[in-house]
Amino acid sequence: MAGIKMTHAFDKKGVKWAADNYAKGMGTAPLKCERCDATVIHVNSFTRDCYDNPSKVRAFFRLQANGAHGPNCRFGVDKQIVELASTSEGLVESVQKNRFRMRLIAVTEELKATARRLKEDDGGERTPTTSKSYTPSSNRLSSYINTAQRVLRLRAMCDEDADIEEHLELVFAGNTVGWNQFYFDHARQMEAHYAVSKSSTQYPIAVQGRVGKIKRGVKDDPKLNVLNLERLRVTQDPNETTNGISLEVSVWAIKASWFDGLTENDEVIIFGLWKAPTPAQTKATKEGLFKTFTNRRLTLTLAVKSQIAKV
């Protein structure tokens, strides 16, 4: 288990090192966690190259193989999950010591109920006073989404799925969902598309990416607001070499203000019930490697603003 990534570490002589300025051999070995006695190792910065416009991932320290943080160290995943569960309104349940379970069905039901409510409100059949009676459900949704986002941010701070999988099981309608079918980081957005388009039951998943263009009031309709993630590099169709496969990830919101505070290049996690509409094929407009493109899409309509969270 490599655990949560750390920005700082102490060497044997008590000198504090920042991961950004550290290089192998510096200081007196071994390096220790900032908050406990666990031995840590340095990981160099690297380039994230799944986009046309690659970006640098910062250096960090992580636990040595088979190491563990002290029982009260805040870099221990188990400690973080225990804290999270205590304020999760029952979304994260304790199964046994250091082992928890998140009930995805509860989030799904709240998301669907809120989506229905938004639609009814939109139809104008309800007066504002009756709409108010739905507020408790919406509060519960917000608290569930906040819990899920905290779990997801914790996952994003870890090195790999296994770090969190060990302590937190995901359950949907009685079945265990693997973390790799729930959390999709930058490079795995296409796998998220595959999961959504092949899945017979709809459960919420998380897609991590970089904010691209935001358009408010599409077609002059104030209720049509869209945020696109920066696109992954186009990949070659394995069955047809002149066909390129692209993926557009779009998030729709009925309120333009739900995208406030987000700007291009922000790193975000978007959590909810996604749809994968049937892809359209287009002809290339410029001469290049590909003559045609299959344009895959993943779309989500926000029920609450907090479904998008900055990492």
Query: Which residues of this chain interact with Zn ion, rule CB under 5 A?
Result: 33, 35-36, 38, 69, 73, 75
Nearer to Zn ion, 15 or 280 (CB): 15
First to last CA, the chain: 22
Nearer to Zn ion, 36 or 115 (CB): 36
Give the shortest CB-85-to-Zn ion separation in angstroms: 20
Nearer to Zn ion, 36 or 226 (CB): 36
Pair of tokens at residue 223:
């209720």
Q: Which of 165, 143, 183 is nearest to 306 (CA)?
A: 143
Give the shortest CB-196-to-Zn ion separation in angstroms: 37
Give the shortest CB-30-to-Zn ion separation in angstroms: 13
| Whole-number Å distance between alpha carbons of 148 and 272 | 10
Give the shortest CB-11-to-Zn ion separation in angstroms: 15
Q: How many residues appear in the chain?
A: 311
| Whole-number Å distance between alpha carbons of 299 and 274 | 6
- Decide: 256 and 225 in contact? Cβ < 8 Å: yes
Give the shortest CB-78-to-Zn ion separation in angstroms: 12
Nearer to Zn ion, 75 or 290 (CB): 75
Q: Which of 256, 240, 258 is nearest to 294 (CA)?
A: 240
Give the shortest CB-88-to-Zn ion separation in angstroms: 24
Nearer to Zn ion, 73 or 196 (CB): 73
Pair of tokens at residue 215:
């358009």
| Whole-number Å distance between alpha carbons of 79 and 68 | 11
Nearer to Zn ion, 61 or 183 (CB): 61
Nearer to Zn ion, 80 or 208 (CB): 80
Provide φ and ψ at 52, rounded to 5°: -65, -30
- Beta strands 292-301 and 240-253 are parallel
Nearer to Zn ion, 36 or 41 (CB): 36
Give the Å distances, CA to CA, from 37 to 64, 71, 106, 157, 204: 12, 11, 39, 20, 38
Nearer to Zn ion, 79 or 296 (CB): 79
| Whole-number Å distance between alpha carbons of 236 and 290 | 8
Give the shortest CB-69-to-Zn ion separation in angstroms: 3
Give the shortest CB-182-to-Zn ion separation in angstroms: 26
Pair of tokens at residue 6:
């750390």
Give the Å distances, CA to CA, from 293 to 132, 133, 140, 288: 47, 48, 42, 11
- Decide: 5 and 157 in contact? Cβ < 8 Å: yes
Give the shortest CB-168-to-Zn ion separation in angstroms: 19
Which residues on adjacent β-strands are paired with residue 264? Answer: none
